[in-house]
Chain A
Amino acid sequence: MQNKKLTVAIAGNPNSGKTTIFNAFTGAKQNVGNYPGVTVEKKEGTKIYKDYQVNLVDLPGTYSLAANSVEEVVARDYLILEKPDVVINVIDSGNFERNLYLTTQIMELNVPMVLALNMADIAEKQGFTFDIAKISKFFNANVVLTIGSKGSGLNELLDAVIDKANNPGNIDSANLINYGDDIEKELDKLSSVVNKDHTLAQKYGRRWIALKLLEHDEDILSKEHNIEVLEAAHESASKLDKLFGDRPDVVIAEKRYGFISGVHEQAVKHTAQRHHDISDTIDTFLLNRAIGLPIFFLMMYLVFKLVFWAGDPLMGLIESGFGILSTGISNIIPDGHLKSLIVDGIIGGVGGVIVFLPNIVLLFLAISMLEDSGYMARAAFLMDRIMKKIGLHGRSFIPMVIGFGCTVPAIMGTRILEDKKSRFATILILPLMSCGARLPIYSLIIPAFFPVQWRGFVMWLMYVIGIILAVILAAILRRTILKGQSGIFLMELPPYRMPTLRGLSIHVSNRSWLYLKKAGTVILWISIALWAATVYPKPSAESLEGLTAEQVQQAELEYSIVGRIGKTMEPVIKPMGFDYKIGTALLGALAAKEVFVAQMGIVFSVGETDEESDTLRDKLKNNYNPLQGFCIMLFCLISAPCMATLAVCRRETNWKWAIFQFVGLTVIAFGLTTLVFQVGTALNIGT
């Protein structure tokens, strides 16, 4: 049977439960990509329902469809240009009025709409009852009560979507909101001028253009317009400005809320006296003046504890799994190049990276839990004062926490910052947040050089050094090349919610899959290439005559491409206490930080003759001192971010900033590491 196709966009405020509904429909089968030209995440999925194939698009969560941020423009352009058959507007029923602000704007876009009054159970507990028929009439939309987290009302929602798609009714709903005689008069006047402008008028509708012109919408203003239209818009706007004593966009927003409170009054009953809900009670502790911050730091500590304590046994399992695999393959394949490639190159390289998967999974699990529960916004609230001091936003804190997972999504996450300069400053310092790929380096080095009781502290220290450096650099940037007023800091503190298992697992599996995919593709190829460069060319047999096994290994490595490059750069990295072997690994780390571990594995295993080889950590311990170990971590923390970060930084800013970041961080890393090594050596610390 041929399914009928429907394209359905899901729009809504942040925290409205939009993504929960999207996840409930599509399950794990999601297609995550980007909107063309921008890095706003575009999630798509398909749901087969009755004889329909419903293609769902999860639009970015926004409070408005003005052009305040890229997300808003993306959501708006999608609704206007892609013309989905139906848009589902997900509403947090417990926060009815604020959520409906977006609804009034979607309504004006002439797209058939279905309203999902989500979290209906919570709203009911709070004593709200909704007159569905009336709301439906006000917005010319089908209205359905849903509970996204429990999956209830979702079939009804799809029925409503199909019904709306087949009977869109009179979708010329633009006149539903009356902005009052004065504004309407100017709208009429402007509409008639806009009329001449065919392309825009056809795309957006005349009245809508007129409205956006009055609202001084940058995006629409920048679209092609003749002077006549712009002048008329300016004249109307200043006339209204004088009349109302306020900017027209503010007055128009007020009128929309006026319409909404009309809806609220007529269609919503509030029976129970609202008592302090659980969320408020939790906040009296978590945001408490005295214990709020201690709890926050405890929370962060627990996250790390979870990631490393729970992760370590699992890592051990994977490690021994690869060990067994290596031995097995060694027994099957005869000695030679192929065996070396598989055991040293592929398993040594890729395996060394995959070992850290448990840590990555747990870290993303912790971040998702903080985010989905609503605590992340509280963290931003608690930290804003400090962030403001260094010229950033409390909200910059969220990308910084994500930066502990991976810098790439963190940089993409800076989109929530509306102010360009503080956004750029945040992007530039984000690589200093020890990302998931630094973790394998720390996990390799720390146990090799530091006694058990110090390991936790050193690990903590690495993260703290990154944070402190980030703070200093941000403060400097915001006072020099990125000077300027920060934009407004308005942040919703959503009610606390229990994170859903489905939401967590989808988020974590998406992220972990990306990590594995990277290990399987980029890192696999780099490992093979680095292996080849480490093994070839081989010195002639006679030059190795009479040497011990260890000396042979040494000579072979020095003769190889990697050895030669490493030797060439040795004088430069020597002040930091690095030899050419570390140098080669650092080169590899440019591609991806975790390659450092892989390359160290290759460098130290190639040419091994005895079966019972020491672990990589033991070899490191025998070759370097703890100060050098610390310097390795320090340099890897600060120096040039990986290629993926460079690429995403360029895409979010431009080449100039990306190169500035790359070079600047490397220079700082070189200076600081040299300083630490020289001072440490002079004072005989850790040597």
Chain B
Amino acid sequence: MTKNIQLSASLEDYLETIYLIVADKGAARAKDIADRLNVKAGSVTGALQALTKMKLINYAPYELISITPEGQEKALEIIRKHETLSDFFENILGVNSDIAEKGACEMEHAVPDEIIDRIILFSEFIQACPKCGKNWVDRFQSYTQKLHLSSSESCQTCLEDTANRHKKEIAKMTDETEPQTLLDIKPGNKCIVQRVKRGSSASKRLAEMGISRGTVIEVERVAPLGDPIEIKVKGYHLSIRKNEAVNIIVEQQ
């Protein structure tokens, strides 16, 4: 329903201000609004009446002003637009924060929802997509200062850098989805227990035998038939089956 209500730029400013004051103090008075927006108290009344007519606020002369659910939704939408724009200006385009704030204040009323949504997606994309990444924005920043692209030679190094970075990130991603377990440690190597997977009924037994967070485990050997494995922990030898070892999350030393 709120989507259909078209507000003028100044009414949007009023609604935004009322929302902020209500959030701050619980209720707003005409005088507070006039002070914040730096206008005369008289012109406030007209705007309040207009907003009341649109059922965005509850207002009667000489009473405290509160905001209706519809008004709240509308106000949040305006604030979101404002923040998205100022964010985009400051973090991606690299404009200083005062100018970004001012630009956002003016543009928030004019920019259609669709464009705002796209800007949000675009900002997310730049930060999330490994192909662009933070580095990409940084390079753009330096470009804005030098106003020219680097030479073709450094374009090559750039691409190599990017490729390397991608490789590392790929490794990190697979690492995060499947953490290293005791099973991944080759005989003769040591590792430190990060944690024992919860829910495995064995976790108590393991803890009693001295295997818990921080324990150093040395993998000694795998049995001739491939299972179980022999480990050394706290100076003694223990045999553990592979389907138990997989529950012990470790970091190779």
Q: Which residues in A have some Cβ–Cβ distance to B below 8 Å?
A: 63-64, 66, 68, 94-98, 101, 246-247, 249-250, 253-254, 257, 283, 287-290, 292-293, 377, 380-382, 384-386, 388, 394, 487-495
Contact = CB atoms under 8 A, between A and B. Distances in A.
Nearest to B227: A385
Nearest to A418: B205
A492 B224 contact: no
29 contacts: A63-B209, A66-B204, A98-B235, A101-B208, A247-B198, A250-B204, A253-B204, A253-B208, A254-B213, A257-B212, A287-B221, A289-B222, A289-B224, A292-B224, A377-B239, A384-B239, A384-B241, A385-B227, A385-B228, A388-B241, A394-B239, A488-B201, A488-B206, A490-B239, A490-B240, A491-B238, A491-B239, A492-B237, A493-B239
A293 B223 CA distance: 10
A191 to B, nearest CB: 22
Contacts of B223: 287, 292, 381-382, 384-385
B202 interface: yes
**Residue from B201, B236, B241 whose CB has the most chain A CB atoms within 10 Å:** B236
B210 interface: yes
Nearest to A99: B236
Given A290-B224, A489-B239, 8 more contacts: A64-B208, A246-B203, A385-B227, A385-B228, A488-B206, A490-B202, A490-B205, A491-B238
B207 interface: yes
A382 B208 contact: no
Nearest to A248: B204
A139 to B, nearest CB: 18
A491 B206 CA distance: 11
Would you list the 8 A-B pairs with minimal beta carbon distance, nearest first?
A253-B207, A385-B225, A488-B202, A493-B237, A491-B239, A292-B224, A254-B212, A250-B207
A630 B207 CA distance: 52
Contacts of B101: none
A343 to B, nearest CB: 54
B212 A493 contact: no
A250 B196 contact: yes
Given A63-B208, A488-B244, A384 B235 contact: no
Contacts of B222: 289
Contacts of A380: 239
B234 A97 contact: yes
Contact of B210 (A97, A382, A394, A491): A97
Contact of A97 (B198, B205, B206, B235): B235
A261 to B, nearest CB: 9
A98 B236 contact: yes
A94 B235 contact: yes
Interface of B: 195-196, 198, 201-210, 212-213, 220-228, 230, 234-241, 244
Given A287-B230, A289-B222, A292-B224, A490 B238 contact: yes
Given A250-B212, A488-B202, A381 B244 contact: no
B236 to A, nearest CB: 5
Contacts of A288: 224
Given A490-B239, A492-B238, A253 B212 contact: yes
Contacts of B230: 283, 287, 381, 493
A382 B204 contact: no
B17 to A, nearest CB: 42
Nearest to B229: A381
A250 B244 CA distance: 16
What is the interface of chain A mostly: helix, strand, loop, or mixed? Answer: helix
A487 B241 CA distance: 11
B225 A382 contact: yes
A490 B205 CA distance: 8
B206 to A, nearest CB: 7
Contacts of A249: 204, 207
A64 B196 CA distance: 19
**Residue from B227, B234, B239 whose CB has the most chain A CB atoms within 10 Å:** B239
A361 B208 CA distance: 38
Nearest to B233: A98
A64 B208 CA distance: 7
A404 B167 CA distance: 59
Contact of A493 (B195, B203, B226, B238): B238
Contacts of B224: 287-290, 292-293, 382
Contacts of A495: 237
Contacts of B210: 97-98, 101, 257
Contacts of B208: 63-64, 66, 68, 101, 253
B24 to A, nearest CB: 34
Contacts of A253: 204, 207-208, 212
A97 B202 CA distance: 20
A94 B238 CA distance: 15
A120 to B, nearest CB: 15
Contacts of B244: 488-490
Given A287-B230, A489-B228, A96 B204 contact: no
A463 B105 CA distance: 92
Nearest to A288: B224
A60 B209 CA distance: 17
B203 A490 contact: no
A380 B225 CA distance: 12
A386 B210 CA distance: 27
B212 A489 contact: no
Contacts of B241: 384, 388, 488-489
A589 B197 CA distance: 52
Contact of B234 (A64, A98, A382, A388): A98
Contacts of A63: 208-209
B204 A247 contact: yes
Contact of B209 (A94, A487, A490): A490
A101 B207 CA distance: 10
A253 B223 CA distance: 29
A103 to B, nearest CB: 13
